[in-house]
Amino acid sequence: MANSAAVADSAEGAAFGDGFALAAAQARILVVEDDRDVAGLVGRELRALGLTVDVIGFAEDALLAARDTDYALMVVDLGLPDRDGLDLVREMRKRAIATPILMMTARSKVEDKVSGLASGADDYLVKPFAVPELRARVTALLRRPSPLKDSRLTVANIVVDRDALEAVVDGASVPLTRKQFQLLELLARRKNHMTPKRMIEEALYGYNDEVSGNAIEAHVYKLRQTLRAAGAEAEVETRRGIGYRLVERHRAVAHG
């Protein structure tokens, strides 16, 4: 069930304002929780806000996912079966994973909250929690600007504005679908570096989404055509069996 390119604003998302609804269209969340009931509840509520949600039950799997995927937010339970959530958060921060983290736990003592925040978490949610509080804390963290991420990426005459969710070529906005924008942003962040197809699939789709065999090729083809039509001085290069990269095109030099 591949995601649709067009994003419909949910009533819940609209309740937080158009700015959040727009940001939610690009936001991917990692929920690290081994309790199926709790994970299911959190996943449903976040998806209702228009967010893409991945659910993982083990700390080590979450660490790998956080390393390979550009998450907008992580919701981490402290009581994980293979490792304490505090250790997981500390390890992420040691590895320079700067994604905002909302800790979720039944430990409600002040010292527990202090330990969680000191380990590198950005906020703390105590179980049992009210759904409106979960939504409020998630939206607050998603609205918070990250000092470690540039809001604008530039490749040749292409500007990818992460805040406005817009691509501009020579001052003119380029019409892109949600997937095309996500693809362009990923390639712009990794400009001149090959991005494997698997990494693109993980960036554009959730872990539980079914992706057709040629879905990425189709997105690349459409993005390439749109950039050419807009007069972009960079193009998506394909290396069969390796991946894709965004490279600047060399202008022809006229000799007088």
Please give the pLDDT value at position 203: 75
161 in helix, strand or coil? strand
Whether residue 139 is found in the same domain as residue 156: no
Looking at the structure, do residues 202 and 91 belong to the same domain, yes or no? Answer: no
Give pLDDT, residue 17. Answer: 46
Q: How far is CA 111 from CA 24, 114, 118, 123, 176, in A?
A: 33, 5, 10, 14, 48
The DSSP result for 185-246, as a single string, is HHHHHTTTS-B-HHHHHHHHS-TT----TTHHHHHHHHHHHHHHHTT-SEEEEEETTTEEEE
Which pLDDT value is given to residue 145? 61
What is the average pLDDT across 58-85? 89
Query: Are both 134 and 163 inside the same structural domain?
Result: no
- Does residue 254 lie within any of the structural domains? no
In a domain, 107, yes or no: yes
Q: Is residue 91 part of a domain?
A: yes
- Does residue 130 sit in the same domain as residue 213? no
pTM of the model: 0.55
Pair (24, 123) in one structural domain: yes
Distance CA 49, CA 193 (A): 33
Q: Residue ranges of the alpha helices (H) in 49-109?
A: 59-68, 85-94
pLDDT of residue 127: 87
Domain final position from 143, 178, 205: 143
- Among 143, 169, 196, give the residue marking a domain's end: 143
Asked if residue 25 and residue 126 are part of one domain, the reply reads: yes
Q: Are residues 42 and 161 in the same domain?
A: no
The answer as to whether 256 is a domain residue is no
Same domain, 23 and 78: yes
Q: Is the peptide bond between 128 and the residue preceding it cis, with omega within 30 degrees of 0?
A: yes
- Is 2 part of any domain? no
- The model's pLDDT over 183-227, given as tens digits with 9 standing for 90+, comes to 998 898 888 888 888 888 877 776 556 777 789 999 999 999 999
Are both 139 and 15 inside the same structural domain? yes
**Average pLDDT value for the chain:** 80
Do residues 96 and 157 both lie within one domain? no
43 and 98, same structural domain?
Answer: yes
Domain with residue 139: its CATH number is 3.40.50.2300
Amino acid, res. 16: F
Q: What is the number of structural domains in the chain?
A: 2
Same domain, 71 and 182: no
Say which residue, 68 or 183, is predicted with more confidence: 183
Question: Which residue, 236, 238, 189, is CA-closest to 249?
Answer: 236
Q: Print burial letters for 21-55: b (CB count within 10 Å at least 16), e (below 16).
A: bbbbbbbbbbbbbbeeebbebbbebbeebbbbbbb
Amino acid at 120: G
Structural domain of 110: 11-143
Q: Residue 175 sits in a domain of what CATH number?
A: 1.10.10.10
Q: Tell me the pLDDT tens digit for each residue of 94-122.
A: 877 888 999 998 876 767 667 777 778 88
Q: Looking at 143, 162, 192, which one is the last position of a domain?
A: 143
CA angle 95, 96, 98 (to 5 degrees): 130
Phi, psi of 176 (to 5 degrees): -130, 145
